[in-house]
Structure 1
Amino acid sequence: MFRIRPVLALLAALTALAAVTSCTSSDDKKDDSTASLPDGATLLKDSATAMGEIKTAKFLITADGAISGLSLRRAEGTLTREGDAEGTAQIEQAGTNVDLTFVIVGDKIYIKGPTGGYQELPLSLAATVYDPSAILDPDKGIAKVLSTATGAKTEAAEAVDGTDAWRVAMTANGADLATIIPGVSGDVPGKVWIGQQDKRLHKAVFTLPAEGGATGTVTVTFQEFDAPATIKAP
């Protein structure tokens, strides 16, 4: 005689087992995903080392928002580890954006405005407005910013201009970041994108206080690492 109860009991047991298996599989997948992200502090340390070894790079800095105490709106160009640089910058003066071309060689900066030729000035005079000469300096440039940052947490894998990278949230030391973004002080929250293979910094976004109680951002990107670069006085 066909017995219904044993069959129902067997079906119930199989259903329960399937549910447990499903939950276990889902939890394992979630744990694996979390475990696959590398340690943020280690990434910053490795990136600081990698950026400290860079000889040349293309850079771009853009400011979004009326950031308190920051007159720099945009800058881009070529940097060398020795401190030479060339490129263009946009500076806000008395409510007007002024476009400049600059060349830095040694302790001199050559600046050309919208009209006229280059003016030669001591590099020290440009430091309060914008001086990119130390950005690749391993002791006080972007490598120092990475090495002194705190609270690092890897958030996700995210490509930057076709390069696979890790996105890491962190807090930068303002005194060190001032080498990159003039006038910055205090703790500055930010996110950095570190190459998965080369460990170099490809992008960074920092959040800063702006006028009227709002916030603004400064984005820094690096490309063409160690490409040949010859920078001469104009």
Structure 2
Amino acid sequence: MAEVVSGYRERRSRLADAVVWTNTNITGTTALPVLPDGCMDLLWSDGRLLVAGPDTRAYPADGRVGTRWVGIRFAPGYAPALLGVPAHELRNRRVELAELWPAATARRFAEQVGAARDQPAALEAIALRRAYDTEPPDPVLRRIVGALDAGWSVAATAEAAGLGARVLHRRSLAAFGYGPKTLARILRLQRALAVARSGVPLADTAFRTGFADQAHLARDVRELAGMPLSELLARS
């Protein structure tokens, strides 16, 4: 059986805080799983439109050689308003868009993307039209993400957002798919990986990104990414 590697490309979307990407599996080394990042994606592949909900654990990559994926990755908190479904209902799930929107509409959009010469642009156009008819996300969501990504405590984040702890938790479930503590942990992991991949020693990486020590960083990577830190960095 052939091994696969991700032929991944991305660009910034015309949608605010979104990225348009393509991924085609080609022969090579085994592709990394999709790591939790707080985001949600609208996906097209093999004539189907799907939604990738927010993950709390690594999601296996598609191992079929030659399979092409086209996607739009929405920043944390953006997709639920666009899709019309609370994020927690899609946590750790990949669902057909037809389960969320009228089936005929989803099928027509999937056919449009499949027939397009520029499939990423066609998928982006669908999302843009939907965004035009949808109320934008509450600005407080951006403040919540910014505070947690800066390493603020949940209590400090709630105060900065002008929300009580219970309201913050409820709003976070609907917008991000999980509570603020989990979102903070996932954002911290992504910060740490970015720093480590730049060549910073792991002990310094842990200190800079809010972990108690290198062992704490290693535990979080194993729990959230499903593999040892050394293996993840070697394959990145």
TM over 0.5: no
Higher relative contact order (CA 8 A, sep 6+): 1
TM-score calculated relative to the size of structure 1: 0.23
Greater Rg, structure 1 or structure 2? 1
| TM-score normalized by the length of structure 2 | 0.23
Q: Per residue, is there more strand in 1 or in 2?
A: 1
